[in-house]
Each structure stands twice: as structure tokens, then as C-alpha cells.
Amino acid sequence: MKKAAPKKKATAKKAATKKKTSKKAAPKKAAPKKKAAAKKPAKKKTARKPNPAFMKPMTPDTHLALVVGSKPIPRTEITKKLWAYIKKNDLQNPANRREIVADDKLKPIFGGKKKVNMFEMTKLVSKHMK
């Protein structure tokens, strides 16, 4: 049979912590503050320049002209006008807002599809610009 190991006495640290818990804790001294490192001045951000290809006026075909107008306008403006039309006529699917439900004017632009994803929409619309 093995002999039972003798019990160790409480160490001084444990005894000290037991005493501290019974007494009120002494306030801790604040650590000395370090000097902040000198910060480099932030670089000024330059305004982004639009890509000239997006700003080139494009002429919409007859189907797209019914929605955005027949004047040559940049692609960015065509997209803005198209989204304004979609929101005005509440053509986004309420269950999935990324999906656009085509009405009579948009069906020929979307290639006859009833529903189109918003990312697929830009690809389909680009086919209707000259």
C-alpha cells in the first residue's frame, strides 16, 4: 500500500491573499505615463477621378430610351435613371431586394426575363447602349 502524502502547509502568498480579502483592498498606485510617440502628419486624400469610359456619352436604343430618355448620356447617368424608375414603380422584389421584377418597359431590356438580379441587370442594359 502507498503511504498518504503529507498535507502541505498554506504558502505565505495564499495566507497573504486570505488576509487581503478579509481587509479592505489598498488603492493601487497609478503607473507612470509614457510619452506619446510623435505622430506623422496624415497624407491628404486626393479626390477620385471618374473613369473617362464611364463619362463618355452613350446613346440608348429604342427600348432603353422609353425608360431613360433618348439623349446621349453617360453610363453612370443611365444607371441612375434606371434605378430611379425601378424605385418609383416599386419593381424590387420585397422578399429579395436584389431582384428586379420587370414590367412592360423593362422586359425587352432584360431580354424577356421576368426577374433579374441587380448585378445581371447592368450587363443586360449595356447591350442596349451604342
The ranges assigned to domains in the chain are 91-130
pTM of the model: 0.60
Q: How far apart are CA 29 and CA 94, in angstroms?
A: 60
Please report, in tens digits, the pLDDT of each residue of the chain (130 residues total).
566 666 665 555 555 555 555 556 666 666 666 666 666 677 777 888 877 877 899 999 999 999 999 999 999 899 999 999 999 999 999 999 999 999 999 999 999 999 999 899 989 999 999 8
**Which set of grid coordinates corresponds to residue 63?**
427600348
φ and ψ at residue 92, rounded to 5 degrees: -85, 140
